[in-house]
């Protein structure tokens, strides 16, 4: 671990240089891409649940496998960046995403739930490489004092992808929910034919997404992205451990619980809105609301947040947004009908600034340890695997209406991190505070 000094910070993120807008615009396309593909999981969950007659615990393996890949591949992704640099790591990430997308075709042809999960792991491995490279790349692509604002802006386009994906996925992939009792009465041969027919709807969209990922990889390879010095170029300055930076590992917990809460809500929301005592609407209508209102709220919030964070301290905005999200989740669990429906949907608006704000706070003033700090924060995205899985067990045990209690507790921690835990601490930082 390096002593964080003025000189080492200047080497890593030169404050005197303006933001490179052309490079920022190109990298922003990656944020849109992985946002779109991540949000399609919210469509896969109800779709695969009906095809394979799964309970909530079983179907939440979709998110468990997808987000576990972040934990498994984050440190290897950091090594990839050391070997080939940010630009070529992004290319490798896109090509891996393309491979994962193509694997959906044999998974749907069989059809096989385990193969769907394997395809998701490969897809998420590619996204992990993108996250580990693109997030810190954006953060150091301009003045450090506007890093949070800049990352919020790129994350807004990530949210544009998450907004569009549920609507398009709902129209293309989701069909009318089959009667589970009738499906269970089918013969083995008829059941196989039913599953093949239902699963075939994922082939075309994932084939298209795989081709787009490959084309985008070729474009990035040809584009002249500026080289950014990272931690790997200052190995001689590293004298300690990333765990010396309290704001970093508290930020990793923040990423863990934030992604867990956001994914839990997004994963269960379609099934939640279709409940007779909540929204009493169709799955396609629910998918539209999830896309344009829940994820769309996050997109709007990030555009607003990008401007607000130019003027208001990140810690204050983050803590306040988390407290409001906590109150909204509690309101939904304690009410019924449209109040319960819209209070949970509205959480998306306040989720908006959380990931980029936690991320930039976590890597603040790490100097030559920025790359390692980024890998640790991306590893923490595994919260999207664990918290939704536990929430699925809660939903099976007490019902989906009150299954969001864990997500509510997550927002309380994020409020603490915003107000207290995000202040930079660690070797060489005290003299800069």
Average pLDDT for 88-100 = 96
Q: Tokens 């539209």 identify what position? A: 288
> Looking at per-residue confidence, does 359 or 206 come out higher?
206
Q: What is the pLDDT of residue 237?
A: 54
246-273 vs 370-379: helix crossing angle, rounded to 10:
30
Q: What is the pLDDT of residue 383?
A: 95
Q: What is the pLDDT of residue 54?
A: 93
**What is the token pair recorded at 418?**
């915003």
Q: Are 139 and 23 in contact (CB under 8 A)?
A: no
**pLDDT above 80 (res 8):** no
pLDDT, one tens digit per residue, over 323-378 is: 999 999 999 999 999 999 999 999 999 999 999 899 889 988 887 777 778 788 98
Q: 128 vs 19, 70, 111, 112, 123, CA distance in Å?
A: 25, 5, 26, 24, 9
Which one-letter DSSP state was computed for residue 282?
Answer: -
**pLDDT above 60 (res 3):** no
d(CA 79, CA 72): 13
**pLDDT above 50 (res 12):** no
354-362 vs 246-273: helix crossing angle, rounded to 10:
170
Average pLDDT for 46-58 = 92
Exposed e or buried b for every residue in 252-274, given b needs 16+ CB within 10 A? bbbbbbbbbbbbbbbbbbbbbbb
pLDDT band, residue 411 (cuts 50/70/90) = very high
Q: Tokens 């193969």 identify what position? A: 115
Q: What is the pLDDT of residue 9?
A: 33
Q: What is the pLDDT of residue 158?
A: 85
> Looking at per-residue confidence, does 5 or 211 come out higher?
211
246-273 vs 337-345: helix crossing angle, rounded to 10:
140
**pLDDT above 60 (res 10):** no
d(CA 324, CA 318): 10
Tell me what the pLDDT averaged over the chain comes to.
86
**pLDDT above 70 (res 200):** yes
Average pLDDT for 224-232 = 63
* CATH T-level fold of 20-229+242-426: Growth Hormone; Chain: A; (1.20.1250)
Q: What pTM was computed for the model?
A: 0.80
Helices (H) and strands (E) in the chain, counts: 21, 0
> Looking at per-residue confidence, does 239 or 149 come out higher?
149
Q: Are 223 and 215 in contact (CB under 8 A)?
A: no
Q: What is the pLDDT of residue 431?
A: 39
Q: How far is CA 393 from the centre of its chain?
A: 22
Q: Are 242 and 369 in contact (CB under 8 A)?
A: yes
> Looking at per-residue confidence, does 412 or 78 come out higher?
412
pLDDT band, residue 319 (cuts 50/70/90) = very high
Q: What is the pLDDT of residue 15?
A: 43
pLDDT band, residue 120 (cuts 50/70/90) = very high
Average pLDDT for 51-65 = 93
Q: What is the pLDDT of residue 155?
A: 80
**pLDDT above 70 (res 430):** no
**pLDDT above 50 (res 6):** no
């Amino acid at each position: 671990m390096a002593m964080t000094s003025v000189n080492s910070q200047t080497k890593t993120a030169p404050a005197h240089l303006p933001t490179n807008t052309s490079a920022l615009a190109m990298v922003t396309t990656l944020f849109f891409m992985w946002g779109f593909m991540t949000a399609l999981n919210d469509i896969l969950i109800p779709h695969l649940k009906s095809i394979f007659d799964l309970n909530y615990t079983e179907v939440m393996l979709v998110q468990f496998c997808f987000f576990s890949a972040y934990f498994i591949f984050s440190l290897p992704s950091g090594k990839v960046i050391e070997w080939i640099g940010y630009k070529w790591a992004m290319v490798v990430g896109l090509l891996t995403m393309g491979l994962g997308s193509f694997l959906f075709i044999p998974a749907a042809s069989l059809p096989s739930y385990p193969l769907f999960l394997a395809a998701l792991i490969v897809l998420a491995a590619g996204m992990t490489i993108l996250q580990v490279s693109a997030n810190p790349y954006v953060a150091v692509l301009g003045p450090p004092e506007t890093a949070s604002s800049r990352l919020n802006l790129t994350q807004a386009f990530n949210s544009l992808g998450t907004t569009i994906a549920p609507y398009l996925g709902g129209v293309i992939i989701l069909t009318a929910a089959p009667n589970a009792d009738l499906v269970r009465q089918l013969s083995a041969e008829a059941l196989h034919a039913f599953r093949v027919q239902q699963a075939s709807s994922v082939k075309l969209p994932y084939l298209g997404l795989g081709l787009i990922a490959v084309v985008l990889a070729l474009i990035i390879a040809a584009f002249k992205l500026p080289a950014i010095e990272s931690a790997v170029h200052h190995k001689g300055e590293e004298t300690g451990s990333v765990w010396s930076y309290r704001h970093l590992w508290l930020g990793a917990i923040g990423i863990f619980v934030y992604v867990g809460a956001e994914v839990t809500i997004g994963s269960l929301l379609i099934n939640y809105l279709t409940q007779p005592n909540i929204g009493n609407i169709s799955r396609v209508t629910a998918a539209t609301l999830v896309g344009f209102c829940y994820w769309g709220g996050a997109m709007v919030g990030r555009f607003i947040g990008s401007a607000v964070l130019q003027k208001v301290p990140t810690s204050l905005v983050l803590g306040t947004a988390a407290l409001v999200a906590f109150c909204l989740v509690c309101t939904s669990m304690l009410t019924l009908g449209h109040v319960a429906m819209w209070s949970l949907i509205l959480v998306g608006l306040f989720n908006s600034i959380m990931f980029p704000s936690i991320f930039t706070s976590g890597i603040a003033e790490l100097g030559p340890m920025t790359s390692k700090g980024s890998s640790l924060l991306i590893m923490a995205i595994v919260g999207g695997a664990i918290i939704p899985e536990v929430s699925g067990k809660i939903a099976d045990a007490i019902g989906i209406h009150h299954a969001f209690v864990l997500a509510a507790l997550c927002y309380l921690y994020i409020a603490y991190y915003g107000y207290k835990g995000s202040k930079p601490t660690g070797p060489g930082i005290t003299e800069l505070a």
